[in-house]
């Protein structure tokens, strides 16, 4: 009993406390209930202004947040672009030797066409990394929204100021960007306003940042060395292919063709066209930071970021037809055990003269389906197979068909498996020769072959099959 009484005494304060709370709550509810009846009209009078004040505070808060976000985003963008500019200009923009070789336009010339060197450097283990691998002189006309890319083979034999006669790709190793500009300027006679250098290793990241580039591959490539021994990127099938960065590198690097560097230059020009087309269609803003970072890490230039952006804005409406490509005319030749490309200086001078006038590098082929008169076509013949008698046999067949034959001799290299019918201006002339002979593949010269006739017939090993059949 005593224990039970004690427990009741201990619990009673708790009960009292709970009962007190209930009484206070009930009293408050009574006050609210009575007040609601008395103060309803007062709340009606004050609720609308109060809601307006609250909305105003919310709007001010949102506006402040938006302004703050915009300021932070702008600041971040400026910091990002400033960093991009510094990376692209490293080693070039502040180089007085480079500035001395570049011809800055006067205020009156700012909207006129200008010339830019684009050089690709292929840094691979076990090779001379400082030699340039790709060399292009580009004429840019922002007013006409057109560009002409003139490729100079890396083995072209030229006079390098202060270093004698060497391959043009040695200029970068001997004197860096400044010597490259000086060498190209003296070789072409063109004023150079800007310079861009692209590292092939970064080029891979650029392609991947774009999500790959779709290219119509002319012929199958299998080149493990060009792929840096990456088997997954070593083989590229002919036809339309979406190339990854590693595959694109194989495509623009490979020289595993009968015409070696000339075929590789043609592939590079094909890729540049595809890159240009896809660049115009690139609308995914999410790709932009990765793409800009990849470009900044792989490219060096004397141009400021503002100049690059202004140029891109001026050229954004350029059509695919206004991007023209041509290769310096020349032929491979072995001199004292060294393989060079010897420029056809007269033919190259004609190309430069046309380009300087804003014309296509070579005269446009005439239209029409009718084949020309065979007696009006002249053909030079060269033995590209190394099989005795094939050039003479081809010349005899041409003469029998009523086609005038010019020079008959050997090509500089016996590397041609397929007979080629090379034309400079008139595809119709090449088709007429193909029709008369019943064989041969018409190929546009694009400056890669040097000849004075209308058509050049390069006899391949497949001509031996024709002789054996008889």
Predicted TM-score (pTM) of the model is 0.64
Q: Kindly report the CATH number that applies to the domain delimited by 374-469.
A: 3.30.70.2390
Which residues, 6+ apart, have CB-to-CB distance to 13 below 8 Å? Answer: none
* DSSP one-letter code for 205: H
E strand map for 232-359? 235-236, 239-243, 299-301, 323-327, 330-335, 338-343
pLDDT given at position 67: 42
Strand partners, 236: 221
Helix-helix angle 245-253:200-209, to 10 degrees: 140
pLDDT given at position 457: 94
* DSSP one-letter code for 287: G
Note whether 302 and 89 are within 8 A (CB).
Answer: yes
Note whether 213 and 248 are within 8 A (CB).
Answer: yes
Q: Which two tokens stand for residue 439?
A: 């064989």
How far is it, in rounded angstroms, from Cα 1 to Cα 29? 41
The position carrying tokens 């309803």 is 40
Which residues, 6+ apart, have CB-to-CB distance to 307 below 8 Å? Answer: none
Note whether 227 and 234 are within 8 A (CB).
Answer: yes
* DSSP one-letter code for 156: B
Q: Which two tokens stand for residue 228?
A: 């840096």
What does each of the 470 residues of the chain score in pLDDT, given as a tens digit?
A: 444 444 444 444 444 444 555 555 455 544 444 444 444 444 444 455 566 556 555 555 444 544 444 434 334 444 445 555 566 655 555 578 888 899 887 777 777 899 999 998 876 555 544 577 889 999 999 888 899 999 999 999 999 999 999 999 999 989 988 999 999 999 999 999 999 888 877 788 888 888 899 999 988 999 999 888 999 999 999 999 999 999 999 999 898 887 778 888 888 888 888 887 776 555 444 455 666 777 777 778 888 777 777 887 788 778 888 889 999 988 888 899 898 999 988 889 989 999 999 888 876 654 445 567 788 889 999 999 888 889 998 988 888 888 889 999 998 888 888 899 999 877 888 888 888 888 888 888 877 788 888 899 999 998 877 666 55
Q: Identify the CATH assignment for 96-210+282-356 out of 2.170.120.12, 3.30.420.590, 1.20.58.220, 3.10.20.30.
A: 3.30.420.590
How far is it, in rounded angstroms, from Cα 77 to Cα 163? 45
* DSSP one-letter code for 108: G
């Amino acid at each position: 009993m005593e224990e039970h009484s004690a427990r009741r005494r201990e619990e009673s304060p708790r009960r009292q406390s709970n009962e007190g709370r209930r009484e206070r709550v009930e009293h408050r509810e009574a006050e609210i209930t009575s007040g609601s009846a008395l103060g309803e009209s007062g709340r009606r009078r004050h609720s609308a202004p109060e809601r307006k004040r609250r909305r105003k505070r919310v709007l001010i808060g949102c506006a402040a947040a938006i302004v703050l976000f915009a300021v932070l985003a702008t600041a971040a963008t400026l910091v990002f672009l400033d960093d991009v500019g510094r990376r692209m200009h490293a080693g070039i923009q502040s180089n007085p030797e480079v500035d001395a070789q570049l011809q800055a336009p006067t205020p009156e010339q700012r909207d006129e066409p200008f010339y830019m060197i684009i050089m690709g450097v292929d840094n691979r283990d076990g090779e001379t990394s400082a030699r340039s691998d790709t060399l292009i002189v580009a004429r840019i006309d922002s007013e006409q929204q057109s560009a002409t890319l003139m490729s100079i083979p890396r083995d072209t034999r030229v006079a390098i100021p202060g270093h004698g006669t060497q391959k043009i790709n040695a200029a970068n190793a001997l004197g860096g960007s400044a010597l490259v500009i000086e060498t190209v300027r003296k070789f072409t006679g063109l004023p150079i306003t800007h310079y861009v250098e692209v590292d092939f290793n970064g080029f891979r990241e650029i392609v991947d940042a774009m999500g790959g580039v779709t290219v119509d591959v002319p012929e199958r490539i299998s080149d493990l060395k060009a792929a840096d021994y990456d088997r997954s990127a070593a083989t590229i099938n002919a036809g339309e292919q979406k190339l990854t960065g590693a595959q694109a590198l194989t495509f623009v690097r490979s020289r595993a063709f009968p015409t070696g560097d000339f075929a590789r230059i043609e592939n590079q020009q094909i890729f540049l066209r595809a890159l240009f087309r896809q660049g115009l269609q690139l609308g995914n803003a999410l790709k932009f930071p990765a793409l800009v970072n990849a470009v900044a890490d792989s490219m060096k230039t004397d141009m400021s970021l503002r100049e690059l952006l202004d140029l891109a804005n001026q050229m954004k409406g350029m059509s695919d037809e206004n991007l023209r490509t041509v290769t310096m005319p020349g032929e491979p030749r072995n001199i004292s055990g060294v393989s060079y490309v010897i420029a056809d200086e007269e033919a190259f001078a004609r190309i430069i003269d046309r380009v300087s006038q804003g014309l296509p590098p070579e005269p446009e082929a005439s239209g029409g389906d009718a084949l020309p008169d065979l007696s009006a076509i002249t053909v030079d013949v060269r033995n590209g197979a190394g099989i005795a008698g094939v050039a003479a046999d081809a010349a005899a067949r041409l003469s029998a068909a009523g086609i005038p034959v010019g020079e008959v001799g050997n090509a500089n290299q016996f590397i041609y498996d397929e007979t080629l019918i090379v034309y400079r201006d008139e595809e119709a002339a090449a088709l007429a020769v193909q029709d008369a002979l019943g064989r041969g593949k018409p190929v546009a010269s694009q400056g890669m072959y040097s000849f004075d006739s209308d058509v050049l017939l390069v006899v391949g090993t497949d001509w031996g099959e024709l002789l054996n059949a008889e």
